[in-house]
């Protein structure tokens, strides 16, 4: 799940604004590199307004200070000024999520490695027979690595499917209550379209590394 925030500034223009002032205001806004989007809202017969989006809450006063005093502006307001505490909490959640992700990868690798080791113990005779029949260590190693890749792929696909249905259930229950103009939740389809490839790749890499380490240990015994 991801959380995205939008920080907006509304610049109301005067009804009798000159074309040159109009262009000057737009150029000033466009020149700011931390502005993510500019939208012109023109509701006749009311005056037009620029809706400006920035990345950080600290960027809001910077933009307001830059535009203050320009000819043709009637009013500048920031109706979506998010408290810094909320932004800090969001950042903290992102960092905690990244740390937990790394911990889960390490734990998964440990579990996969030990699972492969337990699965290989009953097959020591099979390895011995393969060596007796002339199979090289490389051939034996790759046969088990290929098996680990298949298991890693199937495990990752199962995890993606389980995560999709779990998140879809949570999304349907809480998104409508928690979603506001400032916070939105990632659609469940994001898991299949984007996250699934990462899950599958990580699953294959972890299972392959686990297979290589365990098989190498058995082959050197």
Q: What is the pLDDT of residue 87?
A: 65
Tell me the domains of the chain and their CATH numbers: 3-77 (3.30.70.260), 84-220 (no CATH)
Cα 103 → chain centroid: 17
pLDDT at 136: 81
Secondary structure (3-state) at 83? coil
CA atoms within 13 A on the CB side of 36: 12
Cis amide leading into 45 (omega within 30)? yes
Residues in the chain with pLDDT values less than 70? 1-6, 43-46, 79-87, 90, 175-185, 220-221
DSSP H or E run through 145: helix 137-178
- pTM beyond 0.85, yes or no: no
Q: Which helix (DSSP H) or strand (DSSP E) does residue 110 occupy?
A: helix 84-120
Q: What gap in Å lies between CA 208 and CA 206, rounded to an integer?
A: 5
Query: pLDDT per residue over 131-154, tens digit each?
Result: 788 878 888 788 888 888 888 888
Q: What pLDDT score was predicted for residue 4? A: 40
Query: In the chain, pLDDT over 70 holds for what percent of residues?
Result: 85
pLDDT at 46: 61
pLDDT reported for residue 122? 77
Q: What is the predicted pLDDT for the residue at 183?
A: 56
């Amino acid at each position: 799940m991801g959380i995205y925030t939008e920080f907006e500034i509304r610049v109301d223009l005067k009804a009798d604004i000159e074309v040159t002032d109009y262009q000057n205001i737009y150029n000033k806004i466009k020149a700011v590199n931390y502005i993510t989007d500019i939208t012109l809202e023109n509701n006749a017969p009311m005056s037009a307004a620029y809706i400006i989006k920035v990345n950080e809450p600290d960027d809001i006063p910077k933009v307001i200070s830059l535009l203050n005093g320009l000819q043709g502006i009637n009013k500048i307001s920031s109706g979506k000024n998010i408290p810094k505490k909320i932004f800090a909490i969001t950042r903290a959640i992102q960092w905690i999520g990244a740390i937990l992700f790394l911990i889960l990868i390490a734990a998964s690798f440990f579990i996969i490695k030990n699972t492969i080791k337990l699965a290989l113990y009953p097959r020591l005779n099979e390895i011995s027979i393969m060596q007796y029949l002339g199979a090289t260590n490389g051939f034996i190693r790759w046969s088990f690595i290929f098996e680990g890749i298949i298991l890693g792929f199937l495990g990752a696909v199962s995890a993606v499917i389980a995560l999709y249905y779990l998140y879809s259930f949570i999304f349907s229950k809480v998104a409508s209550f928690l979603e506001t103009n400032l916070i939105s939740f990632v659609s469940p389809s994001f898991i299949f379209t984007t996250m699934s490839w990462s899950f599958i790749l990580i699953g294959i890499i972890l299972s392959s590394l686990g297979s290589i380490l365990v098989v190498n240990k058995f082959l050197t015994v």
